[in-house]
Amino acid sequence: MVTLSLYPKEVQLGFPLHRWQDLCREIDSRDDEPIDRDERRAWYDTLRDLVPALHGFKPTVRLYAEEFVWCSLDGASTKDIELFNAILKGQFPE
């Protein structure tokens, strides 16, 4: 949560920042084994979020595991591919 609040306003992200801040507050996860695990995870997430743009790539997309049954999608199904592309654009199914 702290790290996300320090992201520059002008940075283009592949996910809604406010949604991930809300998830941080809701989940309030603590992972202290080893003692600096939370900080390491925040650092690596920040690198994943900010570095792609430095190399001309599109922003990293974050997918929340509990938001959708991802393994239900079939990569050979045109319908599922279209659904996944919609999800990547922030258009989640009802």
**Quick one: residue 90, left, alpha or beta (phi over 0 = left, psi -120 to 50 = alpha)?**
left
pLDDT tens track, the chain, 94 positions: 889 999 999 988 988 899 999 998 998 877 777 888 888 989 999 999 999 989 999 898 888 888 888 899 999 999 999 999 888 776 766 6
pLDDT, position 94:
60
For the chain, domain boundaries? 2-62, 64-94
pLDDT, position 44:
94
Determine whether 13 is exposed, middle or buried from the number of CB atoms within 10 Å of its CB (0-12, 13-18, 19+).
Answer: middle
Question: At residue 9, what are phi and psi to the nearest 5 degrees?
Answer: -60, -35
Q: How far apart (Å, rounded) are the C-alpha atoms in residues 89 and 82?
A: 11
pLDDT, position 63:
87
pLDDT, position 27:
84
